[in-house]
Chain A
């Protein structure tokens, strides 16, 4: 069995940034495993622009952003296995993978999980009706259109107003399709404002909020969908049903962190994020196993994926170098208005720690706080907060030093 200091599972934006950061932090034996024939992950099908504004100070398309990191990987002595699927991971960090050469077994000192997400599918929504061709998850349609050159349909309804759905509304319109409607079950869109403007308004595509698809019609090919308004409990209102003829239904209804390997290894998972429970270095509850990117939490911007992955990579390198023992750490609790917070535990209190959180619903003017009993450790005002936009709060080391925990992160609405 081959031994490696750091094995990175997944060569998308998280995996590449983590590998580079581990290498630059002094760990010279880093391996990336990826199932695709090239590095880059999902960025390779995200041909639209808007990537890199925060991290790289320029507006790039997905493939260009990926190329920046692929080049950083290539400039370092990082071993990359492509078309290699990881099939197993154990708690003692034995990675099993498969490629054309057969089975590969690697013993790692540190493992970085960077497998990303997959899309929620029709089956998970229980939409009734027939099972015709023409129902796609938005990301699948994106790959078919952008990477394979197919036109997946001509009259399109999109369910879900997340960013992928919005981006596909524009893409299908530019390729000559008519997008009849984007339906969103919630009373607000989870997509970025920028995408609502540039992907829907520019093309005159209507966005119907508090509306969902309740039935799919068609024998061989999709012929139409029935949509309905929903009440506050997301239950369809019978009197509001309406039929929209279409040949294609795209589903943009959420991403699920792809954590099968994480579970294999026995790493505890946060039921809310769907990703591992981690500390400030993105280390899971199994020492030496780290997680970053969309496999840890679903991000809005790739720039933040790269930053998170850099923490994981540097953390893994540090561990390989010094073998810092794992301390129990201070746990973090959810207060009012907060759906989740990462990390869930802070172990080292000698450095500033950034907390990443999402709120439960859209709020106007609000104040976010981190408290230790009655003491406020960090606070930040927001003019508005929405579940679609990840919030960041940094707790200074001098505030953390005497904290007893558990810390509570909460939101307070300001008048």
Chain B
């Protein structure tokens, strides 16, 4: 199977093509090894950092922004959001505080302090 990519590692944006045969990926069109790495990752197990906001239960009209501590599989983004919505957060929180121990294999951490 062949897939086309635009590399997002740097602004050069190489047009790459990956040929996937039995779990082996051959990349062409890349200008550097980082591009190859990215294309292989995108073919075999694409991951994304997901960011969102949650309401603070014990504050009026206050949101806190959060992110996945490590990137999660791309196809699990919507499942991640559905689970994240069930988590309550109470202030005060600091940057780096954990709001959920494990959703889709990652901790979810606070990215904005709320007093």
Which of A60, A149, A176, A193 is the one whose CB lies under 8 Å from B53? A149
Cα-based distance from A202 to B47 in the complex (angstroms):
11
Is the beta-carbon distance between A61 and B6 smaller than 8 angstroms?
no
- Answer whether A67 and B63 are a contact pair too, CB < 8 Å, given A44-B112, A197-B6: no
Question: Which of B48, B50, B52, B81 has the largest number of chain A CB atoms within 10 A?
Answer: B52
Residues of A contacting B113 in the complex (Cβ-Cβ under 8 angstroms): 67
Q: In the complex, how many residues of chain B place their beta carbon closer than 8 angstroms to a beta carbon of chain A?
A: 25
Closest B-chain residue to A390, C-beta based? B11
Within 8 A of B (CB), among A362-403: 383-384, 389
Is the beta-carbon distance between A193 and B11 smaller than 8 angstroms?
yes
B34 CB–A CB distance under 8 Å:
no
Is the beta-carbon distance between A49 and B12 smaller than 8 angstroms?
no
Residues of B contacting A194 in the complex (Cβ-Cβ under 8 angstroms): 8
Residues of A contacting B67 in the complex (Cβ-Cβ under 8 angstroms): 47, 49, 61
- Answer whether A146 and B63 are a contact pair too, CB < 8 Å, given A44-B112, A202-B74: yes
Within 8 A of A (CB), among B1-19: 6-8, 11-13
Which of B49, B61, B74, B112 is the one whose CB lies under 8 Å from A63? B112
Cα-based distance from A48 to B51 in the complex (angstroms):
6
Cα-based distance from A47 to B51 in the complex (angstroms):
6
Cα-based distance from A62 to B66 in the complex (angstroms):
11
Residues of A contacting B107 in the complex (Cβ-Cβ under 8 angstroms): none
Is the beta-carbon distance between A149 and B63 smaller than 8 angstroms?
yes
Q: In the complex, how many residues of chain A place their beta carbon closer than 8 angstroms to a beta carbon of chain B?
A: 29
Is the beta-carbon distance between A47 and B8 smaller than 8 angstroms?
no
Q: Write out, one digit per residue, whether chain B residues 71-113 have a CB within 8 A of any chain A CB (1) or not (0).
A: 0001001100100000000000001000000000000000111
Cα-based distance from A67 to B52 in the complex (angstroms):
18
Within 8 A of B (CB), among A178-214: 192-194, 196-198, 202
Is the beta-carbon distance between A67 and B48 smaller than 8 angstroms?
no
- Answer whether A149 and B55 are a contact pair too, CB < 8 Å, given A49-B67, A61-B65, A61-B111: yes
Cα-based distance from A198 to B38 in the complex (angstroms):
13
Within the complex, the shortest CB–CB distance from B40 to chain A, in Å, comes to 16
Residues of A contacting B78 in the complex (Cβ-Cβ under 8 angstroms): 174
Residues of A contacting B51 in the complex (Cβ-Cβ under 8 angstroms): 47-49, 61
Cα-based distance from A49 to B71 in the complex (angstroms):
11
Residues of B contacting A192 in the complex (Cβ-Cβ under 8 angstroms): 11
Is the beta-carbon distance between B63 and A193 smaller than 8 angstroms?
no
A64 CB–B CB distance under 8 Å:
yes
Residues of A contacting B50 in the complex (Cβ-Cβ under 8 angstroms): 174
Residues of B contacting A63 in the complex (Cβ-Cβ under 8 angstroms): 65, 95, 111-112
Question: Chain A residues in contact with chain B, CB under 8 A?
Answer: 44, 47-49, 59-64, 67, 145-149, 174-176, 192-194, 196-198, 202, 383-384, 389
Question: Chain B residues in contact with chain A, CB under 8 A?
Answer: 6-8, 11-13, 48-53, 55, 61, 63, 65, 67, 74, 77-78, 81, 95, 111-113
Sorted nearest first, the 7 A-B pairs with minimum C-beta distance are A63-B112, A47-B65, A194-B8, A193-B13, A61-B111, A47-B51, A64-B111
**A-B contact sample (17 more), CB < 8 A, given A64-B111, A384-B13:** A47-B67, A49-B51, A49-B67, A61-B51, A61-B65, A62-B65, A63-B65, A63-B111, A67-B113, A145-B53, A146-B63, A147-B63, A148-B61, A149-B61, A198-B48, A202-B77, A383-B12
